[in-house]
Structure 1
């Protein structure tokens, strides 16, 4: 996915170029979020993305680097953190990343999965999509009009949706961060934004970001709707985006990471902590107040994903309450 030079402002142009060459994580584009830090070495092709939470450095994905130097780059990053008296926590690791960090001595556990739909043969026809088609039809009958838009031309409407969406979640709810995308900033031109309107008023939107690597395409990222929106609005917007992507022969649509879902012992590594696995399973069974994993999975399952990709977290020095607290702070869960 080539970009014009005008979209490559320094110093982060090299970060985008490295993602294009080496990223195989559906959420890799989140490395461009504001506030992230980058570790790189002049003699190695690639970088590590992370955020600082006290004495914990939260790493997004594995090293986005040439396969020949991934281990060396990660080893230097770990050493750099240790020199500063800090430990590393790896978040949203793909299987290859998890195996790498486990080999370097970190405790690695599956924490959830990401989901993807192959678009080449995708169709909403057939019995299994009857309920989804009905929801979409209901939204369309309500007068819903969907279009891909320039976010600069509807910023006020998007902000209004965000404010009402967050207010409806409760006064103690905060916007999640780090492990989800954002809007605006220098890389907005690389995203897609679809907005749904009724009688000229914007009621919902979905933002998509590029995905590189072995399953290239787009990631269904931020999505918001007004609390009183008719049922099926989000599904209708996504269905329209899929139509456009298929017309452009985009191979994959990704639905991103959902924690505490698709947990299976067959995905665990030998370096997994049994205690951590029990904790994750407990939250998956009882922690809907902590994170709405079930409702997220329900939405993603409607599209019958072709790929379920286990994702992992890694803990330098083992899992601890302090490390879990750092992850919660970095992602704004608390």
Structure 2
């Protein structure tokens, strides 16, 4: 982990900080200047995100990961990779399938002035008039309120009948939460919402990971939380803020779209019982992000249903976690 964190500090993608969860194995390049984080479920060895480190090291690291998968009798799977990874995947005979789109806010351009932001300004102004207060806690300050944060997290999980997720999503692990800055919203002195922030080195990119709140507190609470995070990170010199992926967003639905896209669009339209696809996309769209495609990359032909099942089990923590939410 120490070697991984040293690499993390000198690369541009804050979401790679999910390696801190400790729920994934780490495969280093031969020079130990780049790594892939991965986990196994079923017959899949699933790597999360692009390799972490200089892009010139990606091809050899990809080959090393595929050899590791073959040695273990597993299929190599890459989850939520970017367009930049695809040429290397093609060179190794892997096939991409679009998963959705990641929302990234350009903080250098972010400004609430103008008519386009009127509705959002009204929302956060009302939230502050009604007594909601924002603050950003440094990692040193987080232990003082960790019990309050845990209480909010438990209330949020209970309201959604959900269990903790993992792999590509943050988990309320005490060491993990204490390692990062945490943005909070207070009402009458009590914490009612929070989000932890992962940061890349050199003040380039930041990533909002865990987002938990006490339900039915205030309609504008999460608007206030996100806007103030953006303003705070911009003032600190960060250039982008990653809001995470909107699953199944942006899938082509024209006549020539592949079967994978058509199935994804059907799930997007009719799968609200299991996941709030439309709500997630609509909320992130409020902040005028740049939408960046993210892909599943696998070997073989045909729909990658077995790979998707294994990824889903990793994220959900097994079948029981999936069935809960």
TM-score (norm 2): 0.88
Q: Distance in 2 between matches of 1:27 and 1:289?
A: 28
In structure 2, the CA distance between the partners of 1:110 and 1:212, relative to structure 1 (3 Å rule), is: farther
Instruction: Answer yes or no: is 1:122 the counterpart of 2:113.
Output: no
1:312 maps to which of 288, 292, 295: 295
Match of 2:75 in 1: 87
Would the aligned equivalents of 1:40 and 1:73 in 2 still touch at CA under 8 Å?
yes
From 246, 249, 257, the equivalent of 2:237 is 249
1:329 is aligned to 2:313:
yes
Q: CA deviation at 1:243?
A: 2.4
Structure 1 residue 275: Cα displacement? 2.9
User: Hey, what's the Cα distance between the residues in 1 that align with 2:224 and 2:22?
Assistant: 30
* Distance in 2 (alpha carbons) for counterparts of 1:65 and 1:208: 20
User: Compared with structure 1, are the counterparts of its residues 184 and 321 closer, same or farther at alpha carbon in structure 2 (3 Å cutoff)?
Assistant: closer
Corresponding residue of 1:293: 277
Deviation at 1:25, TM superposition (A): 4.2
- Once residues 274 and 77 of structure 2 are traced to their aligned partners in structure 1, the CA distance between those partners, rounded to angstroms, is 20
Q: 1:276 to 1:292 in 2, by over 3 A?
A: same
1:199 counterpart = 2:183? no
Q: Does 1:32 align with 2:16?
A: no
Question: Counterparts of 1:133-172 in structure 2 under 5 Å?
Answer: 133-149=121-137, 150-170=141-161
What SS is found at the alignment partner of 2:61? helix
1:247 deviates by: 2.0
What is the Cα-based RMSD across aligned positions, in Å?
2.3
Contact 1:40 1:47 in 2 (8 A): yes
CA separation in 2, counterparts of 1:263 and 1:135?
Answer: 30
Distance 1:249 1:69 in 2: 28
Q: Does 1:181 align with 2:178?
A: no
Counterparts in 2 of 1:198 and 1:177: CA distance versus 1, 3 Å = same
Report matched runs for 1:8-87 at 5 Å.
12-22=1-11, 24-25=12-13, 27-43=15-31, 45-87=33-75
Q: CA deviation at 1:121?
A: 2.9
- 1:242 and 1:303 map into 2 onto residues whose CA distance is 10
Work out the number of aligned pairs and report it. Answer: 312
Q: Bigger CA drift: 135-144 or 235-244?
A: 235-244
- Is the 1:87–1:317 contact (alpha carbons within 8 Å) kept by the matching residues of 2? no
In structure 2, do the counterparts of structure 1 residues 321 and 176 end up closer, same or farther at CA, with 3 Å as the change threshold? Answer: same
- Residue 16 of structure 1 deviates from its aligned partner by 1.7
Q: 1:43 to 1:246 in 2, by over 3 A?
A: closer
Change (3 A) 1:323 1:217: closer
Which residues of structure 2 form unaligned runs of 5+?
none
Distance 1:95 1:212 in 2: 22
1:259 aligns to 2:247 (yes or no): yes
Helix, strand or coil at the partner of 2:260: helix
Kept in 2, the 8 Å contact 1:138–1:231? The answer is no
Unaligned runs of 5+ in 1: 1-11, 267-272
CA drift of 1:153 comes to 1.0
Describe the SS at the equivalent of 2:167.
coil
- Whether the 8 Å contact between 1:25 and 1:61 is mirrored in structure 2 is no
